[in-house]
Structure 1
Amino acid sequence: MKPSLKAIALLSTALLTACTSTEDKVNDLLQRHMDAFVFVEGGSFMMGNPGGWSVRRDSLPAHKVTLDSFSIQKYEVTQGDMDLFMEVTGYTYIDDFYAKDKSKYQNRFSAELPAPTAWADARAFCQWIGKLSNKTIDLPTEAQWEYAARSRGKMYRFATDTGKAVAGVNMAQEAKKGVFDHNALPKAPGSFPPNPLGLYDMSGNAAEWVLDNYQPDYYENSPELNPQGPEKAKTSGLKSGPIDHHKVARGGRFYDFWGNTTVSRLDKPQELMGLDTGFRCVMQN
């Protein structure tokens, strides 16, 4: 039996409404992300640990870096925006170990929290925003991230409003000494005051993916002008299994209070999703 004209009309209206609703959501997402970019004037600074800011040897030596101007987002990308990206593009996670069982990890995948991703997922989102806006948008380089976190390279040990860390005031609460809280969660972006550039959560929330490959001795060999990281990444894994390629993540983690300095580096396998990860995007000017 052929459908009635009324049924066809109702179906057409429903489809049009759904399409319009999705289009509106994407337009809203794009507007919010473009509005969130903060211009960062380029310049020179001493990148890395000036002494006593980190226990990691790979944050040494401090070395001069000169950067061109760029813009970076105020906030970490939320899971809600990541979900919409995947819905409209058909993108699927590189590593679905956690995501395939969201019922078990549902608190970490709440729409308002920083999106946990593998490195390629984070980069795909930023490049999607770039495609929608016709701009060059990607993950920040490690040098761009640190320069912005330190408010254009100032001597800020933490990326807070004061450069100091005060638990529960400008950074997340400090965990009990020697205790790892497996139920800990990051805060929704913007929960604490921003750094002097107006950037939120660059210390002590999610560990933010950056563009660079990781090598522990890179700071000994980094070029001065717009460094992009080492050509080859550190690798790990069993000889008989898959090989993981390590990227850099910055900003510390919500359960690691004193490790959340502006110079601390984390090396994380790019193929794996971490529940402590997040990201923000950068736009080239």
Structure 2
Amino acid sequence: MVWIPGGVFYMGDEDDPSLELRLVYVDGFWMDQFEVTNQEFAKFIEATNYKTIVEREIDPKEFPKAPPELLKPWSFVFQKPPREQRFASLAHCQMECSQPVNGACWNHPEGPKSDLKGREKHPVVHICYADAVAYCAWARKRLPTEAEWEFAARGGLDRKAFPWGDEFRPDGKWMTNIWQGLFPYANTKEDGFEGTAPVGSYPVNGYGLHDMAGNVWEWCADWYQPDYSDGLLDRNPEGPLRNPQGPNSGFDPLEPGFPKRVQRGGSFLCAPGACERYYCAARGKGEINSSGIQIGFRCVMDAK
């Protein structure tokens, strides 16, 4: 783990109204240098016999109208469209390319016929919120708050776009694992990776952390609301907000019946012009009992 010294920083993005710039203070804490890997998660499974959410049988009584194939364990897997086509929106494109695959889970990322051979050091994926919490409890750690995550991602830089600065590709160098090429049709793999990359494949930020942008989305402890400042209950308007914990409940107006938690960092399926959420202030969201091939996590630990 890496020590994150804590302090005051500007959270949010002054160019995005939904990411209102706020002065925030966080205490120092320890953070995993890397996203949790397949190798590390396998040790947890072996020690506890834990079964992840997407591996569990689904009770048909809870979903009486669901088709039979969706009552079997499944998770979302990215699938390229068979041909170029016009999508109604980016959200529609992402929905069409993320397909439920029966048997897809952490040790079978693309489905039952896939495995983790050669991917031991890649970040574990197909992780639901409860899975991440269970691992953290076993490891005597916890998930970061959204504020802690953003503070750590910035690496001590003030109001910069990315963990390494404002320039997306300094000297033409890829600094993070995202989609290269025309999304979602062709990935040129300019950095050598089409899916996840082994953790630590890209440079560290100012705090010594790897992959705080791209590779896989990372769960945070906070409930999701579309305007994150709604959950920042500031009792000290003249000074920095101290250690915000997020709202008391989740609400997504696009899917009001599905409570969600915050996800941060973007993933290998982000690309310029498509899911540009690999910058420090960008936010994601995830339904707590759903996951996919681009969703993982890392842990933190209190100073004491």
**TM-score bucket (shorter structure):** 0.7 to 0.9
Please name the residue that 1:73 is paired with: 32
Is it true that 1:87 corresponds to 2:41 in the alignment?
Answer: no
Please name the residue that 1:103 is paired with: 112
Q: Is the 8 A contact 1:151 1:195 kept in 2?
A: yes
Is it true that 1:229 corresponds to 2:246 in the alignment?
Answer: yes
Please name the residue that 1:165 is paired with: 168
Structure 2 Cα separation of the partners of residues 213 and 128 of structure 1: 22
Letter in 2 for 1:150: R
Q: Aligned-pair distance for 1:165?
A: 2.6
**What residue ranges of structure 2 are gaps of 5+ in the alignment?**
56-73, 75-103, 188-192, 235-240
Structure 2 Cα separation of the partners of residues 216 and 261 of structure 1: 17
* The 10-residue stretch of structure 1 (101-110 or 181-190) with the greater mean CA deviation from structure 2: 101-110
1:76-119 deviation line (CA, Å, top 9, x unaligned): 00012112201110111012222285434436993221111011
Is it true that 1:256 corresponds to 2:270 in the alignment?
Answer: yes
Q: How high is the sequence identity, in percent, across the aligned residues?
A: 31
CA gap 1:168/1:155 in 2 versus in 1, 3 angstroms = same
Please name the residue that 2:147 is paired with: 143
Is it true that 1:283 corresponds to 2:292 in the alignment?
Answer: no
Structure 1 Cα separation of the partners of residues 184 and 254 of structure 2: 28
Please name the residue that 1:46 is paired with: 10
Structure 1 Cα separation of the partners of residues 253 and 45 of structure 2: 29
1:60-91 deviation line (CA, Å, top 9, x unaligned): 21111111111111100001211220111011
Q: Is the 8 A contact 2:20 2:229 kept in 1?
A: yes
Structure number, greater radius of gyration = 1
CA gap 1:279/1:156 in 2 versus in 1, 3 angstroms = same
Letter in 1 for 2:216: A
Please name the residue that 1:177 is paired with: 182
Identify the structure with the greater helix proportion. Answer: 1
Please name the residue that 2:69 is paired with: none
* The 10-residue stretch of structure 1 (194-203 or 96-105) with the greater mean CA deviation from structure 2: 96-105
1:191-243 deviation line (CA, Å, top 9, x unaligned): 0111111100001110111111000123145131111111011258989xxx5
2:132 pairs with one of 122, 145, 158: 122
1:219 pairs with one of 187, 207, 229: 229
1:134-165 deviation line (CA, Å, top 9, x unaligned): xxx200000000000001352221123x4533
Q: Is the 8 A contact 1:175 1:255 kept in 2?
A: no
Q: Is the 8 A contact 2:146 2:262 kept in 1?
A: yes
Please name the residue that 1:133 is paired with: none
Q: What secondary structure, in the 3-state scheme, does the structure 2 residue paired with 1:247 have?
A: strand
Q: Aligned-pair distance for 1:245?
A: 1.9
Please name the residue that 1:207 is paired with: 217
**What residue ranges of structure 1 are gaps of 5+ in the alignment?**
1-36, 131-136
Structure 1 Cα separation of the partners of residues 259 and 150 of structure 2: 22
Q: TM-score, normalised by structure 1?
A: 0.74
Q: Aligned-pair distance for 1:46?
A: 1.1
Structure 2 Cα separation of the partners of residues 73 and 45 of structure 1: 21
Please name the residue that 1:112 is paired with: 121
* The 10-residue stretch of structure 1 (261-270 or 89-98) with the greater mean CA deviation from structure 2: 89-98
Structure 1 Cα separation of the partners of residues 217 and 286 of structure 2: 10
Q: Is the 8 A contact 2:251 2:259 kept in 1?
A: yes
Q: Aligned-pair distance for 1:252?
A: 1.0
CA gap 1:180/1:197 in 2 versus in 1, 3 angstroms = farther
CA gap 1:94/1:45 in 2 versus in 1, 3 angstroms = same
Pairs aligned (count): 234
CA gap 1:221/1:173 in 2 versus in 1, 3 angstroms = closer
CA gap 1:140/1:175 in 2 versus in 1, 3 angstroms = same
RMSD of equivalent CA atoms: 2.7
Q: What secondary structure, in the 3-state scheme, does the structure 1 residue paired with 2:10 have?
A: strand
